[in-house]
C-alpha cells in the first residue's frame, strides 16, 4: 500500500509503527491526540488504516495519547514537555465576517513549547473555537476570548464579527530553527565525490521539519578528507541557520588491518602485536582494527576478528 507524505508532523501526538499486527480501530477513538502515525519515513493519518497496526506512542504523561498507550498495552516513549513562559497572538483584536473561519496561531515563549491551549469564550453564540484553534464566526457581535496554555499562562483578545467590511488576516508565525534538535549527523567515508547528510531536525519533540519544505541543506568542504560543514537553513515558516561539522575519513575495510584484501587470523595477530606495543599503527590501520566500533583498537577487536575467521560471526 502506498501512502502520501504529509506536509509536517504537526502539533498532535505521533505513533511509530513497530509491527503489522492487526489492532482494533476503536483504540484510536480513545486517543484523539494520536492523529498520525509514522511508517518508515512517511507520516500518515491513522484513520486511513483499515487494519490498524500496533504502535509505539511518543507522548507526554497525562495526555490522551499516553492514556491510550497504557490502557491498551502499547509500548510508549515519553518525551519532556517544553513549558511555555508566556503566550500571545499577533493581534489584540480581530475582525471576521459572519459565516467565515480563521485559524489562530498562539505565539509561545519559547517558540518551541509543546504546550497546547484552551479557550474561554465570552459568548459562543458569536464565535466558537475548536481543538485545532479554528475560529468560526457565527453571528454579529463583539466577544472577549481568554487563551490558557497547558502551563497556565494566559492572554486575552477580542473578536468582532461583522456582516461586511475589512477583516483581520492571521498568518502562521515564522519560527526560529535554531531552537531545533539535530540528529543523524554522521561522519562519511572519502569517495572522491560530494558527501551529504540525512538529518532529522526536530523543532520540538513532536514537530519534525520536512526536508526541502521547512529547511534546506548546504555544504562546504564536503569532498576531501578532513572536516566538512553542513548548514541547515530554515525556509517557509522557519528562519535562521544551524551549522554542524562532520568528518570525512579515509575509507577502510573493517577487519582488514594489514590491507591484503582478506580478513583473517593474520589481521587478529597484528592487533595482538599492536596491543602489546610491538608494532605501531597508522590512522588507517587503527580505524580498520576497531571492528567493535568502541573507539579503540585492542585485544577485544582481535577476538572479534578471530571469531569472524572461524565462521562464528558473519560480520562486524
Domain of residue 136, residue span: 86-162
Domain's final residue, options 249, 283, 306: 249
Paired residues of 134 in beta bridges: 103
Tell whether 30 is covered by a domain. yes
Please say whether the beta carbons of 106 and 99 come within 8 A: no
CA atoms of 185 and 246, how far apart (whole Å): 7
Domain's final residue, options 220, 249, 278: 249
Please say whether the beta carbons of 12 and 37 come within 8 A: no
Domain's final residue, options 78, 99, 134: 78
Indicate if 104 and 158 belong to the same structural domain. Answer: yes
Of 1, 169, 167, nearest to 98 by C-alpha is 167
Number of domains composing the chain: 4
Q: Which CATH number is 299's domain given?
A: 1.10.1330.10
Tell whether 170 is covered by a domain. no
Tell whether 1 is covered by a domain. no
Tell whether 121 is covered by a domain. yes
Please report the pLDDT score of residue 12 as a whole number.
Answer: 40
Indicate if 117 and 98 belong to the same structural domain. Answer: yes
Please say whether the beta carbons of 103 and 96 come within 8 A: no
Of 141, 143, 140, 132, nearest to 104 by C-alpha is 132
CA atoms of 98 and 96, how far apart (whole Å): 6
- Record the cell numbers describing residue 102, joined without a space: 480563521
Indicate if 134 and 183 belong to the same structural domain. Answer: no
Tell whether 7 is covered by a domain. no
Please report the pLDDT score of residue 70 as a whole number.
Answer: 72
pLDDT over 70 at 63, yes or no: no
Query: In the chain, what are the helix, strand and coil shares in percent, each to the nearest 5?
Result: 15, 35, 50
Per the model's pLDDT, the better-predicted residue between 39 and 84 turns out to be 84
Indicate if 257 and 227 belong to the same structural domain. Answer: no
The DSSP-derived string for 247-285 is EEE----TT-TT-SS--SHHHHHHHHHHHTTSS---HHH
Interacting residues of 36 by C-beta distance below 8 A, sequence separation 6+: 6, 9, 10, 12, 14, 15, 43, 44, 45, 46
Indicate if 256 and 292 belong to the same structural domain. Answer: yes
Please report the pLDDT score of residue 6 as a whole number.
Answer: 31
Q: Pick the most confident of 7-21, 27-41, 150-164.
A: 150-164
Q: Which CATH number is 112's domain given?
A: 2.60.40.10
Indicate if 258 and 285 belong to the same structural domain. Answer: yes
pLDDT over 70 at 270, yes or no: yes
* 196 pLDDT tier (thresholds 50, 70, 90): very high
Tens-digit pLDDT profile for residues 223-256: 999 999 999 999 999 999 999 999 998 888 899 9
Tens-digit pLDDT profile for residues 100-159: 999 999 999 999 998 999 999 999 999 999 989 999 999 999 999 999 999 999 999 999
Indicate if 202 and 236 belong to the same structural domain. Answer: yes
Per the model's pLDDT, the better-predicted residue between 229 and 80 turns out to be 229
Indicate if 113 and 181 belong to the same structural domain. Answer: no
**Where are the alpha helices (H) located in the chain, listed in sequence order?**
26-29, 64-71, 265-275, 283-289, 299-309
The residue assigned the cell 558473519 is 314
Please say whether the beta carbons of 159 and 93 come within 8 A: yes
Paired residues of 23 in beta bridges: 52
Indicate if 295 and 238 belong to the same structural domain. Answer: no
Tell whether 5 is covered by a domain. no
Tell whether 168 is covered by a domain. no
Indicate if 187 and 155 belong to the same structural domain. Answer: no
pLDDT over 60 at 193, yes or no: yes
CA atoms of 97 and 140, how far apart (whole Å): 8
Please report the pLDDT score of residue 28 as a whole number.
Answer: 41
pLDDT over 70 at 37, yes or no: no
Please report the pLDDT score of residue 199 as a whole number.
Answer: 95
Tell whether 298 is covered by a domain. yes
pTM: 0.65
* 80 pLDDT tier (thresholds 50, 70, 90): confident
Amino acid at each position: 500500500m502506498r501512502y502520501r507524505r504529509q506536509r509536517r508532523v504537526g502539533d498532535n501526538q505521533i505513533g511509530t509503527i513497530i509491527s503489522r499486527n492487526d489492532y482494533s480501530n476503536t483504540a484510536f477513538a480513545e486517543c484523539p491526540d494520536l492523529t498520525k502515525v509514522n511508517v518508515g519515513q512517511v507520516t500518515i493519518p491513522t484513520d486511513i488504516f483499515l487494519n490498524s497496526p500496533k504502535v509505539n506512542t511518543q507522548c507526554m504523561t497525562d495526555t490522551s495519547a499516553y492514556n491510550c498507550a497504557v490502557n491498551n498495552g502499547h509500548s510508549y516513549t515519553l518525551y519532556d514537555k517544553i513549558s511555555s513562559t508566556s503566550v500571545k497572538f499577533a493581534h489584540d483584536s480581530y475582525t471576521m465576517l459572519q459565516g467565515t473561519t480563521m485559524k489562530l496561531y498562539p505565539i509561545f515563549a519559547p517558540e518551541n513549547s509543546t504546550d497546547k491551549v484552551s479557550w474561554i469564550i465570552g459568548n459562543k453564540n458569536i464565535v466558537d473555537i475548536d481543538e485545532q484553534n479554528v475560529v468560526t464566526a457565527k453571528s454579529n457581535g463583539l466577544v472577549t476570548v481568554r487563551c490558557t496554555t497547558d502551563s497556565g499562562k494566559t492572554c486575552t483578545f477580542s473578536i468582532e464579527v461583522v456582516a461586511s467590511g475589512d477583516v483581520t488576516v492571521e498568518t502562521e508565525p515564522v519560527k526560529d530553527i535554531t531552537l531545533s534538535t539535530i540528529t543523524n549527523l554522521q561522519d562519511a567515508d572519502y569517495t572522491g565525490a560530494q558527501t551529504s547528510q540525512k538529518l532529522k531536525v526536530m523543532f520540538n519533540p513532536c514537530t519534525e521539519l520536512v526536508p526541502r519544505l521547512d529547511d534546506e541543506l548546504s555544504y562546504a568542504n564536503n569532498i576531501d578528507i578532513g572536516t566538512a560543514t553542513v548548514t541547515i537553513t530554515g525556509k517557509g515558516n522557519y528562519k535562521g541557520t544551524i551549522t554542524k561539522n562532520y568528518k570525512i575519513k579515509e575509507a577502510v575495510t573493517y577487519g582488514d588491518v594489514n590491507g591484503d584484501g582478506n580478513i583473517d587470523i593474520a589481521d587478529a595477530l597484528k592487533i595482538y602485536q599492536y596491543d602489546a606495543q610491538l608494532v605501531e599503527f597508522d590512522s588507517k590501520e587503527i580505524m580498520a582494527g576497531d571492528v567493535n566500533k568502541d573507539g579503540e583498537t585492542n585485544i577485544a577487536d582481535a577476538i572479534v576478528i578471530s571469531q569472524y575467521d572461524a565462521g562464528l560471526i558473519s560480520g562486524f
